[in-house]
Amino acid sequence: MSIRYISQKLAQQIDEELMSSSGAFSLDQLMELAGLSCAQALAKSYPAKSHKRVMGGDGLVAARHLHMFRYKPTIYLPKPGSKDIYQRLLKQCENLNIPVLKDVEEFKKGLGESDVILDAVFGFSFQPPLRAPFHTVLSAITSTSLPIVSVDIPSGWSVTDGPQPLYTEPDENGNTDSVKTFEPEVLVSLTAPKEGVRGFKGRHWLGGRFVPDELADKFELNLPEYEGVDQVVELPRVE
Amino acid sequence: MSIRYISQKLAQQIDEELMSSSGAFSLDQLMELAGLSCAQALAKSYPAKSHKRVMGGDGLVAARHLHMFRYKPTIYLPKPGSKDIYQRLLKQCENLNIPVLKDVEEFKKGLGESDVILDAVFGFSFQPPLRAPFHTVLSAITSTSLPIVSVDIPSGWSVTDGPQPLYTEPDENGNTDSVKTFEPEVLVSLTAPKEGVRGFKGRHWLGGRFVPDELADKFELNLPEYEGVDQVVELPRVE
């Protein structure tokens, strides 16, 4: 039985169940383990020796663990979150002197000094069309030849249908821009892969080794077995 | 430069700094990473193949991760905590059908069906004398020949002076009992080893790969380098 590709709705439902009073997980716990999974997947795909400089689009927890794994992460935050947890995760990165960029021009410059991109900009709740400044962010990413590690859904892809023609919001004259999407070299799916990445042909890791067996059974996720103490497991390549 | 053995007071100060507004870590985050370290250290010392049944004295987070690593943990809780986080961590274990024992007689029986003990009963804030039911717990542990993995400080040891003659609280006639202490096969020190384990001769892991460099420098912890994505690093054996 192969792994289940889940809908956006089911992904949200699983998160809600994990954090409900019966699931009992806190957001802090889940984000910590998810971010650690992303950092491990990147490290298993691109060793620090050859790919030390990681440009993270969001991904504060992953960046902190990558620092601990002796990478040199930089974080670009297109829309800094205002929630308390976000502020705390940001402070933890600042305490490690991880540079945090807030301007898209700095981000473009930073890409020129990076070895690999960790694309955690959108996540599985993205809905088109593209709003500012994400148009510029996405164009900046697609215009590099750096290897990209995407989390859950490559930025700009539809969670349901994968890579699709992508447009910006209409301006005051009703005009939209078409935006190129990209296929990352590596994908990290958290909890379970989403429907939109069904045709993804790159290296694919599953992370989030915290889903209770009963929850996985209930939703027929057919998760593969992780090895040893790993927080990620590689999925077979799609031909 | 060798690693620093820290006092109980400094251990508490480091925890406080990590969780202060400037450190910005939440208790949930630190317990998650610390518990994961303990589970990894046990797994690297005693493979699930030969030591599947783990009896945990406390250690709720470690037990959950051990379940994920395909061990069969059981938890004994001599004094179930009332704090919200404790209740949530307990619920997470119950959701995985991890047996949770609350009675010392069940614990003694459970030891007979275990392959290894994870001793997280006391932690680094223990102060003698021994209060009930810990006298019975400790005697039950010392009377088995199972390998023991202790966290931070083997239960009953002084955090400052290591293994010491240990007595129970005086009863109504002023009588105390002498209690045997033990030397575990394996020790997991979290953040930094404590003064009391300076002479420990077994296998010694350091865990808690979250201490910011500046904090480690400030307290001259001289932490060793972790390998790859490991959450624990083995310390050289003491001759």
Closest of B91, B90, B55 to residue B76, by C-alpha: B55
pLDDT at position B124: 61
Does any CB of chain B come closer than 8 Å to the CB of residue A22? yes
Distance from CA of residue A133 to its chain's centroid? 18
Non-local (6+) Cβ contacts of A164 within 8 A are A128, A157, A158, A181
Q: In whole angstroms, what is the distance from residue A221 CA to residue A191 CA?
A: 9
Encode pLDDT of A188-238 as tens digits. 999 999 999 999 999 999 999 999 999 999 999 999 999 999 999 999 998
Partner residue facing B96 (CB), from A26, A43, A213:
A213
Mean pLDDT across the stretch A132-159?
A: 91
In-domain check, residue A52: yes
Encode pLDDT of A7-27 as tens digits. 999 999 999 999 999 999 999
Does any CB of chain A come closer than 8 Å to the CB of residue B96? yes
Query: What letters, b where the CB count within 10 A reaches 16 and e where it falls short, cover B193-214?
Result: bbbbbeebebbbbbbbbbbbee
Q: What residues of chain B score a pLDDT lower than 70?
A: 124-125
Contact A229 B39 (CB under 8 A): yes
pLDDT at position A171: 85
Q: How many CA within 13 A on the CB side of residue A89?
A: 25
Lowest mean pLDDT segment, chosen from A36-45, A172-181, B84-93: A172-181
Which chain B residue has its CA at the smallest distance from A86's CA? B24
CA distances from B209 to A91, B169, B191 (A): 17, 37, 7
In-domain check, residue B3: no
Kindly tell me the burial class for residue B17, based on how many C-beta atoms sit within 10 Å of its own C-beta (0-12, 13-18, 19 or more): middle
Q: Which residue has the tokens 């933890």?
A: A92
CATH number at residue B178: 3.40.50.10260
In-domain check, residue A141: yes
pLDDT at position A1: 79
Contact B46, B149 (CB under 8 A): yes
Q: Angle at Cα A222 formed by Cα A218 and Cα A228, nearest 5°?
A: 115
Q: In whole angstroms, what is the distance from residue A61 CA to residue A118 CA?
A: 12
Structure tokens that stand for A137 in this block:
């962010």
pLDDT at position A128: 72
pLDDT at position B37: 98
**What is the 3-state secondary structure of B67-125?**
HHCCCEEEEECCCCCCCHHHHHHHHHHHHCCCCEECCHHHHHHHHCCCCEEEECCCCCC
- Angle formed by the axes of helices B60-68 and B84-95, to 10°? 20
Closest of B162, B158, B172 to residue B128, by C-alpha: B158
Which chain A residue has its CA at the smallest distance from B22's CA? A91
Cross-strand partners of A207: A190, A232
Strands A53-57 and A72-76 come out as parallel
Q: In whole angstroms, what is the distance from residue B135 CA to residue B179 CA?
A: 7
pLDDT at position A124: 61
Which chain B residue has its CA at the smallest distance from A87's CA? B24
Q: Give the type of residue at A203.
A: R
Does any CB of chain B come closer than 8 Å to the CB of residue A214? yes
CA distances from B24 to A145, B138, B236 (A): 36, 36, 32
In-domain check, residue A116: yes
Q: How many domains, chain A?
A: 1
Tell me which chain A residues have a C-beta less than 8 angstroms from the C-beta of B231.
Answer: 229
Encode pLDDT of A70-90 as tens digits. 999 999 998 878 899 999 999
Tell me which chain B residues have a C-beta less than 8 angstroms from the C-beta of A223.
Answer: none
- How far A210 CA sits from the closest chain B CA (Å)? 7
Lowest mean pLDDT segment, chosen from A43-47, A121-125, A138-142, B98-102: A121-125
Contact A146, A182 (CB under 8 A): no
Q: Angle at Cα B225 formed by Cα B224 and Cα B226, nearest 5°?
A: 115
Contact A78, A57 (CB under 8 A): yes
Q: Give the type of residue at A110.
A: G
In-domain check, residue A58: yes
Residue ranges making up the domain that contains B101: 8-234
User: Which stretch of DSSP H or E encloses residue A88?
Assistant: helix A84-95
Closest of B2, B5, B1 to residue B199, by C-alpha: B5
User: Which stretch of DSSP H or E encloses residue B57?
Assistant: strand B53-57
Between residues B152 and A166, the one the model is more confident about: B152
In-domain check, residue B111: yes
- How far A167 CA sits from the closest chain B CA (Å)? 39
pLDDT at position B234: 98
In-domain check, residue A239: no
Does any CB of chain B come closer than 8 Å to the CB of residue A103? no
pLDDT at position A125: 65
Contact A68 B214 (CB under 8 A): no
For residues B80, B81, B87, B88, the Cα torsion angle rounded to the nearest 10 degrees is -110
Q: In whole angstroms, what is the distance from residue A143 CA to residue A137 CA?
A: 10
In-domain check, residue A2: no
Between residues B172 and A1, the one the model is more confident about: B172
